[in-house]
Amino acid sequence: MNCPKRIAILGSTGSIGTQTLNVVRHHRDRFSVEVLCAGSNAELLINQALEFDPNAVVIADESKYTTVQQALAHTDVKVFAGRQSMVDIMDMSSIDVVVAAIVGFAGLEPTLRAIERGKTIALANKETMVVAGHIVTRAAERHGAAILPVDSEHSAIFQCLMGNAQQKPDKLILTASGGPFRGRTRDDLANVALADALHHPNWSMGRKVTIDSATLMNKGLEVIEAHWLFGVEASHIEVLVHPQSVVHSMVQYADGAILAQLGVPTMETPIMFALSFPDRLPTHLPKLDFATCSQLTFEQPDRQTFRCLDLAYSALARGGNAPCALNAANEVAVQRFIDGRLKFLEIADFVEKVIDRCNFIASPTLLDLIETDKQIRTV
């Protein structure tokens, strides 16, 4: 039997990270945990390290280093701290697969370092592609690093493209649940509370991603990511609202045939597929039962109410550092909504205003993108 794949998880204490570890629990013969990286949740990182016995852990919040180090002093686990350590630990030759699950711009540099070291990337951090798709794709090609999508939509497209390498897709169809506010008008949303935005009908995700789902920014970011992952122009990427979240995405070919990937709404399935590729492992999760699936419906998104989707399409069309500015402005706006400093509908207004004021760079370097991100966050 082959040795287990050795996994590093960037963002092990977040939603994707914890679900990845649950996949490992059910397939310990196939996967082992080599590195765990977390932002500031020292308590959960310690518990994960005690359970999975990694070679090393990194806590980005340097003030938590002593807490983690002392809690793991009786083990052989190496403990590091700081954002740069999270980047540098990707140099370890013992890592086979990196699960890039840090939310936001913070995931870019460690993911890019892992790509430069030729690691296989299980990509859950869509912002990496949104911000620096041109840099990331070139680096992956240059260093022979495979990028396997973890987002359910991009995993679905990847699976629909398998076996059709000679057939260029005519259209990618990304499905969206519509979030908690599907069918609501702008008047309805004028004073919605944070708790309402976090009440997603189908998916269990972190706060930032859940709010992005409510604004449809999440789907806009996925459009940009799909462009870079699959080399398809924005005019051939369509978004459809599918409230049941059973059809995870579709690919249409020139002859009109459409291939779709279906399954129950859980992130553990695409995580497991990315980790085990090209194999498919038996699942510990419930399987889709068409006898109990009464209806599958599709509708056009309400672009007037949920303006973030079009803002993302516009940023992709403009190119350069515009998607980076879009992402940073959205991260700031979402945090302000969480803090009670912006209303829900003001998120799109804020993003649009900030992007318009950003210095445009047509062919940005990585340093340009880092500077763009910093510039936006000072607004």
CA-to-CA dists, residue 4 to 78, 83, 189, 275, 306, angstroms: 21, 28, 49, 11, 44
pLDDT tens per residue, range 147-172: 999 999 999 999 999 988 778 899 99
Amino acid at 360: F
Length of the chain: 379
Whole-number percent of the chain with pLDDT over 70: 99
Please tell me the distance from the alpha carbon of residue 297 to that of residue 105, in angstroms, as a whole number.
34
Q: What is the per-residue pLDDT for 328?
A: 95
Q: In terms of Cα–Cα distance, which of 130, 101, 302 is closest to 216?
A: 302
pTM score above 0.75: yes
pLDDT tens per residue, range 218-249: 999 999 999 999 999 999 999 999 999 999 99
Please tell me the distance from the alpha carbon of residue 347 to that of residue 188, in angstroms, as a whole number.
15
Please tell me the distance from the alpha carbon of residue 9 to that of residue 238, in angstroms, as a whole number.
31
Higher pLDDT, 106 or 314: 314
| H-only helix segments in the chain | 15-26, 42-52, 65-71, 83-88, 108-116, 126-143, 152-161, 194-197, 207-215, 217-230, 268-276, 308-318, 322-338, 346-357, 366-377
Q: What is the per-residue pLDDT for 204?
A: 67
pLDDT higher than 70, residue 203: no
Q: What is the per-residue pLDDT for 257?
A: 94
Is residue 178 within 8 Å of 153, Cβ to Cβ? no
pLDDT higher than 90, residue 201: no
Domains of the chain: which residue ranges?
5-149, 154-377
CA-to-CA dists, residue 296 to 154, 197, 378, angstroms: 20, 24, 44
The average pLDDT across 59-87 equals 98
The average pLDDT across 121-145 equals 95
Alpha carbon 313 to chain centroid, angstroms:
18
Query: Chain-wide mean pLDDT for the chain?
Result: 95
Domain spanning 5-149: CATH 3.40.50.720: yes
Q: What is the per-residue pLDDT for 293?
A: 84
Q: What is the per-residue pLDDT for 3?
A: 86
The average pLDDT across 325-330 equals 96
Higher pLDDT, 104 or 339: 339
| 294's tokens | 């009464």
Query: Where is average pLDDT lowest: 68-72, 259-263, 328-332, 354-358?
Result: 354-358
Please tell me the distance from the alpha carbon of residue 157 to that of residue 200, in angstroms, as a whole number.
23
The average pLDDT across 171-183 equals 94
pLDDT tens per residue, range 77-96: 999 999 999 999 999 999 99
Largest Cα span, the chain: 62
One CATH from 3.10.20.310, 1.10.3720.10, 1.10.1740.10, 3.30.310.50 for 154-377: 1.10.1740.10
The average pLDDT across 107-121 equals 96
